[in-house]
Structure 1
Amino acid sequence: MSKVKQPNSWLKPVAIAIAALAGSGTLAACNTTKALQKDTAAQNIQQNANSQSDVNLAAPMPHKAVVYQVFTRLYGNTNTTNKPWGTIDENGVGKFSDFTQAALQDIKSLGVTHIWYTGVPHHAVINDYSQYGISQDDPDVVKGRAGSPYAVKDYYSVNPDLANDPAKRLEEFESLITRTHNNGMKVLIDIVPNHVARDYQSLAKPEGVVDFGENDDTSVTYAKNNNFYYIQGGSFTVPASQNGYQPLGGDAHPLSDGKFAENPAKWTGNGSRLAQPDANDWYETVKINYGVKPDGSHDFPALPKGFEKKGAAAHYAFWSQQDSSAIPDSWVKFKQITQYWLAKGVDGFRFDMAEMVPVEFWSYLNSNIKHTNPNAFLLAEVYNPTLYRDYIHLGKMDYLYDKVDLYDTLKDIMHDKKSTAAIASVQHKVLDIEEHMLHFLENHDEQRIASPDFGGKAENALPAMVVSTLLSRAPTLLYFGQDVGEAGAENAGFGQPTRTSIFDYIGVPAHQRWMNNGKFDGGQSTESEKALRSYYQTLMNLSHSASALKGDYVELDSLQRQLATKGYNDKTFTFARFDEQQQLIVASNFSTTKGANFTISVPNTLVQQWKLNQQGDIAMVDLLSNKQITHLTIDDAGKGAITVSLKPLESLVLELQR
């Protein structure tokens, strides 16, 4: 995309709000004939794969994506009752239909390229939908009243809570896919391959598809083509209550009796092999068997050496050449599921707890997804840094969470536990894969920034958000409500404050104020909420419109520390982003109380890369305020200097004016 040089229409209405924030310090015939056909097809696939570059790794999008995560059940809910353990009638629920043209355009205004609709596949819920042929779910193995979106009950249908007419729930979601596409954005949904709900049963599965566990041999703990692991000689027992916990907050329910029939018991989702899992285990789910034996050894083909350097087409060719008996049944089931949703128009998937599933499965699944849709967006929840490269290069993931390094580091800096110098260190660790490490400061698993345990105020995270968004070529994830400072303060029932509950029917107050009964105009928002929203609009739109952000990164922080730059401290951070068309210097002040005045030293190596041959001053415009703030001065030795003055919590994105 073209570089940002002149004022843009989306910048003009927000410049005043940004200035106010900064200034206040708020801011996937015969057997022989069949075999020959298979071999010929495999050869054709392999020839096609070999024609591609061996270094074609999981390819990111051609621009910096912005992913907007919406918790679909909560997004359009206008009910403000917020009663702990409230029913759907008491506390309300959002619907697919709440994503109107106005809502989708409002989301698009944040620079969003992909909407991750969280909680769409039909998961266990407490509401009675038996008139639609849906079995009732037992509160003893459901977390919260609304249920966890990660206890999927039917992968070929959608949550009936989200439909105006539950009988037409799938049609309503298909309509939402179309509306999202018509508004210029792509659709992501969750796939949870590690586990399913304890009472998985699909009403909507296509002809030829068999339910998880339907053909399992339950007389053995493990068999390659069993979908679950079984505890021989033991029946499932509901976990013992802890801290006075009662399902549904103690409300009566015909199935709430402390029992759930499952014999033999299955391993629990997080790997517990106890017939009675602990209350802190994922007891509402059962673990999927991927051909991993109880001793950890594998019952499936290994990828050949060197496949970390091959693209998705070569991986697809490899798995296509394997005899069908070599592929565990669970692998095939998830291929069927992802292909089903791709055919519905879904553009990609967010894979829950991907590191709990073998990387060879991901090679199989993702190469099949990419064969169907080469541009599919594949995002994985992986927290172990030692596994990052395997899941990208072997597992063919496009993006992984950058949680334990960047997110945790930024949070520690905000809590005065680390110096900003740590940012350069953690980014250096992933420089070879930086474009694959998705950045975020909020999602459904993490505390809200504005909660007292994180930032206390949403504005306190703005420097972290600028750094997180602009540091690399990877996408940025924005969680709904983050852009208006939602604090997640409600006592929802199963879900507790600081995180907006994913288990309960609840309202999201700051988001509701912005939503303004479906107008999406901030009509009930406070001035600080509107200013925050404007800042996010500017930053997110900048993140994929500035060509420099697709280019190179050079950290300037360590140089300032080596030179003991006056005014530069453990709350300041600087770096450069550039390509041939645009050169940027980003400077941020994380302090909530103190300004920072210093001169950024720019090494002559960078000046040479930028082809700045003349001495003297070159103007620099701050793209967050659209004002000329300072200039780059080049001395006779070819070194550069930029004098900046940062208010508390202020960031500058300085563009060189050539």
Structure 2
Amino acid sequence: MTTPTPATDPNTTEEEIQDHKLVIYQMMTRLFGNKKALNKTYGTLQENGVGKFNDITDKALQEIKKLGATHVWYTGVIEHALMTDYSKFGVHLDDADVVKGRAGSPYAIKDYYDVNPDLAVDVKNRMKEFEALVQRTHNNGLKMIIDFVPNHVARYYGSDAKPNGVEDFGTQDNKTVSFKASNNFYYIPGEALKVPNTYNPLSGNYRGPQEDSKFNENPAKVTGNDVFSASPSENDWFETVKLNYGVDIQNNRTKHFSPTPDTWGKMRDILLYWAGKGADGFRCDMAEMVPVEFWAWVIPQVKAKHSNIKFIAEIYNPKEYHNYIRTGGFDYLYDKVGLYDGVRRLMENRGQGNTAEITKVWREESRGISNHMLRFLENHDEQRLASSEFAGTPWAAVPAMTVSATLGSGPVMVYFGQEVGEPGKGHEGFQGEDGRTTIFDYWGVPAHQAWMNGGKFDGGKLTEDQKRLREFYTKLLNLSTNREAIRKGKFYALTAEENSAPKGVYAYLRHTAEERVLVLVNFNREAANYSLTLPTAALANMGVEAKGSFILQDLLTDTPPLLLQPSVKTSITLAPLSAHVFLLQNK
């Protein structure tokens, strides 16, 4: 009988091994340092407060690094449409008809060359405060990521900070035609924009330009989510307009890439501008709504000048994964449709989840892209896992986050407050009460504020339960970057859908020539008994002789060491919502 090899054994994966693992700490920058706790629905900046660049202190960054982070993703840095009036500083006052919430969407960019004035203590020196944050981040041994929003801009776009020689989008457009390859926007000739008449959340309480449905845009531009109508709905991205990359969307999506579309050059210059400011990476919003040919053109140009910069694509179509990695040149892609959706069903406690979905993920992604996938349980778009709309308890993260962090060598991400069980309660404004932390309104984030402790960043106001949760995240994230087997090891599944493991239990190996770890998780909310065995095939795959005994030392919990013999079943009782990462060593 021949021993299965990695190429033929269905339980193994062939990977592009990477000798590093990114741990990304995402923060909604305007919320991170906010100390106010009023949390009034649709509250103003003065009422509900706002965090500043300066609130992200050396101490804060040191604690984020201790958590295990290698990168900080500062969400909402680039200037976007909002309702707060900064006109005395020369900042265009936005019309409330086309701003969602009081603080506005961070993805409705109104000046690609400036930063959000909300984030500055001294608005006139807002760029200097941002540059100081970049330096502070680097000084504390962290790298920084910002958003790049290529698909759409705010209804009003106009840069007052652009470098000499830069033209605003649309300046030279021919507005009499719907599509022209050299235009920056798409148009609906002969029709004026009609703002959704259902959008009036503030009921006239806002002191400033009212939602009076009189925002003037004629001819109407096409809405950001490809809505070719002068009357977008409230559920559309009506506050944004679609950028034109030379694709005639209404004519079979025909491509006009020669000569190079004007939008391409403008976007390349924007990326180079922020890379020059010290950005170590870009999280590219809705990257799949922009043609892959643009990415294949622009990413090499940026990397030619900034070789270590990383590009992360928000993408939800698995059929395009290989294309955006191989052709487009992205370093990493969101693993939302795969692992996130699969483990979410396991976490929701509705009996609908199945660990076979994890098996499906690594099998589908095993053809050279698994280590390019960014795993997460929370981000600014998703519900808080502790919310009643999701898992209902932050401890459901223990098995799910362990799998997310250790299944592959690609990045893993946490969203600020996740590590202390933020439940996302409250009706903040535009989004309503939906289990998410708002991206549209001014707000305080209570569990995060307890850790922040008035700017001490020492966890002084956390409960004992929150402290234990944060300790779990700290152990997991640090071992995911420090342990060689997780950072760059190969994968071998011990449980799969055809095996007889209890429902909700999953086990696998990660291994290099020097180190082997065994990950064992229980998604169930009750204890589970599992018969653990190390098959001869698994040992052969790791290059280990099937003789003698093995000691399993838990790196994640205080579980006493286990003694294991090859091909002999060892019964283990797994606690509810538990995880173990065992270091496997010869006795």
TM-score by length of structure 1 reads: 0.84
Note if contact 1:402-1:438 (Cα within 8 Å) is conserved in structure 2. yes
Q: Deviations over 1:529-582 (max 9, x none)?
A: 1110000000000111110011101111128x53x3xxx311101111100111
Q: CA deviation at 1:79?
A: 0.2
Q: CA deviation at 1:253?
A: 3.7
1:22-171 equivalences under 5 Å are: 62-171=19-128
Q: Which amino acid aligns with 1:261?
A: N
C-alpha distance in 1 between matches for 2:162 and 2:206: 33
User: 2:3 matched to which residue of 1?
Assistant: none
User: 2:504 matched to which residue of 1?
Assistant: 571
Q: CA deviation at 1:249?
A: 4.6
- The alignment of Structure 1 onto Structure 2 pairs a total of residues equal to 565
User: 2:372 matched to which residue of 1?
Assistant: 436
C-alpha distance in 2 between matches for 1:643 and 1:187: 45
Provide the alpha-carbon RMSD of the alignment.
1.6
Instruction: Tell me the SS of whatever aligns to 2:63.
Output: helix
- 1:263 equivalent in alignment to 2:218: yes
Instruction: Tell me the SS of whatever aligns to 1:502.
Output: coil
C-alpha distance in 2 between matches for 1:366 and 1:139: 36
Q: Deviations over 1:249-303 (max 9, x none)?
A: 53144421221111100000001111111111101000000000131434444xx
Q: CA deviation at 1:643?
A: 3.9
Larger radius of gyration: 1
- 1:295 equivalent in alignment to 2:241: no
User: 1:407 matched to which residue of 2?
Assistant: 340
User: 2:535 matched to which residue of 1?
Assistant: 603
User: 1:240 matched to which residue of 2?
Assistant: 197
Instruction: Tell me the SS of whatever aligns to 1:280.
Output: coil
User: 2:8 matched to which residue of 1?
Assistant: none
Instruction: Tell me the SS of whatever aligns to 1:425.
Output: helix
User: 2:396 matched to which residue of 1?
Assistant: 460
- 1:331 equivalent in alignment to 2:235: no
C-alpha distance in 2 between matches for 1:60 and 1:251: 56
User: 1:422 matched to which residue of 2?
Assistant: 357
User: 2:490 matched to which residue of 1?
Assistant: 552
User: 2:148 matched to which residue of 1?
Assistant: 191
User: 1:623 matched to which residue of 2?
Assistant: 555
Q: CA deviation at 1:629?
A: 2.5
Alpha-carbon spacing, 1:472–1:589, altered in 2? closer, same or farther (3 Å): same
Q: Deviations over 1:589-648 (max 9, x none)?
A: 1111x21222222221221233433633221100002554312212xxxx3545432111
User: 1:30 matched to which residue of 2?
Assistant: none
Q: Deviations over 1:2-61 (max 9, x none)?
A: xxxxxxxxxxxxxxxxxxxxxxxxxxxxxxxxxxxxxxxxxxxxxxxxxxxxxxxx9996
User: 1:447 matched to which residue of 2?
Assistant: 383
Q: Deviations over 1:429-453 (max 9, x none)?
A: 1112100111000000000000011
* Among candidates 574, 578, 584, match of residue 646 of structure 1: 574
Note if contact 1:351-1:380 (Cα within 8 Å) is conserved in structure 2. yes
Q: Which amino acid aligns with 2:493?
A: E
Alpha-carbon spacing, 1:254–1:71, altered in 2? closer, same or farther (3 Å): closer
Note if contact 1:434-1:474 (Cα within 8 Å) is conserved in structure 2. yes
* Among candidates 525, 548, 552, match of residue 462 of structure 2: 525
C-alpha distance in 1 between matches for 2:546 and 2:315: 47
**After the TM superposition, which of the residue ranges 610-619 and 520-529 deviates more from structure 2?**
610-619
Instruction: Tell me the SS of whatever aligns to 1:155.
Output: strand
Note if contact 2:31-2:444 (Cα within 8 Å) is conserved in structure 1. yes
Note if contact 1:486-1:509 (Cα within 8 Å) is conserved in structure 2. yes
More helix as a share of residues? 1
Q: CA deviation at 1:419?
A: 1.6
- Percent of aligned positions that are identical: 49
Q: CA deviation at 1:128?
A: 1.0
C-alpha distance in 2 between matches for 1:582 and 1:423: 23
Q: Which amino acid aligns with 1:465?
A: M
Q: Which amino acid aligns with 2:583?
A: E
Q: Deviations over 1:200-249 (max 9, x none)?
A: 000000111110111111111111110001101101111120xxx52435
C-alpha distance in 2 between matches for 1:233 and 1:253: 33
* Among candidates 251, 261, 264, match of residue 205 of structure 2: 251
Alpha-carbon spacing, 1:469–1:77, altered in 2? closer, same or farther (3 Å): same
C-alpha distance in 2 between matches for 1:642 and 1:421: 23
C-alpha distance in 2 between matches for 1:487 and 1:279: 26
C-alpha distance in 1 between matches for 2:51 and 2:253: 44
User: 1:24 matched to which residue of 2?
Assistant: none
C-alpha distance in 1 between matches for 2:299 and 2:571: 48
* Among candidates 222, 227, 235, match of residue 272 of structure 1: 227
TM-score by length of structure 2 reads: 0.94
Note if contact 1:139-1:247 (Cα within 8 Å) is conserved in structure 2. no
1:446-595 equivalences under 5 Å are: 446-497=382-433, 498-549=435-486, 550-558=488-496, 561-562=498-499, 564=500, 568-592=501-525, 594-595=526-527
C-alpha distance in 2 between matches for 1:367 and 1:61: 20
**After the TM superposition, which of the residue ranges 642-651 and 325-334 deviates more from structure 2?**
642-651
Please list every run of 5 or more consecutive structure 1 residues that lacks an aligned counterpart in the other structure.
1-57, 302-324
User: 1:204 matched to which residue of 2?
Assistant: 161
Q: CA deviation at 1:501?
A: 0.3
C-alpha distance in 1 between matches for 2:539 and 2:32: 47
User: 1:219 matched to which residue of 2?
Assistant: 176
Q: Deviations over 1:457-489 (max 9, x none)?
A: 100221111111111111001100000000000
Note if contact 1:421-1:570 (Cα within 8 Å) is conserved in structure 2. no
Q: Which has the higher contact order (CA 8 A, sep 6+)?
A: 1
Q: Which amino acid aligns with 1:377?
A: K
Note if contact 2:502-2:530 (Cα within 8 Å) is conserved in structure 1. no
Q: CA deviation at 1:414?
A: 2.0
C-alpha distance in 2 between matches for 1:469 and 1:204: 40
User: 1:311 matched to which residue of 2?
Assistant: none
Q: Which amino acid aligns with 1:403?
A: K
Q: Deviations over 1:129-149 (max 9, x none)?
A: 111111100110000000000
C-alpha distance in 2 between matches for 1:328 and 1:657: 58
- 1:367 equivalent in alignment to 2:323: no
